[in-house]
Amino acid sequence: MLQAVIEPPASPRDCTFAKMSANYTADLLTVVEPCVFGGDPDCSQCGCSISTALHWIGGKKLAGVPVGGLIRGSIAIGAQVNRMRGGIAQPVRWAGQRAPLVHIKNNAGSD
């Protein structure tokens, strides 16, 4: 796992955790993209243990097949099934779009 810390994913697009997670703000309505940190994260300084662990696991092999390839295949199959079912929105991160940043204010009204 230390190797994954030394060589983190280059971007959320390369991050297994960002691909597999759905992240929301405390109101449970606003989606946080492209990963749990939102905005334009610097993946080289992430330090998120689950992101690091999944990045490490993605590089391992299961029955001779890289786990990352299995994950990408699963996501591709899920996207195809969603297209066939119709009317289901594709997550922003998979559509290549950028979600707007969310500005959160505290109860006192200051930023």
**What is the Cα gyration radius of the chain?**
16
Place of tokens 């334009």: 40
Tokens of 61: 């092999």
Query: Can you give the pLDDT of all 111 residues of the chain as single tens digits?
Result: 777 778 888 888 888 888 888 888 888 888 888 888 888 888 888 878 888 888 888 888 989 999 989 988 998 898 888 788 875 555 555 555 555 666 666 666 555
What is the pTM (predicted TM-score) of this model? 0.61
Query: Do 99 and 29 meet the contact criterion of CB atoms below 8 Å apart?
Result: no
* pLDDT for 64: 92
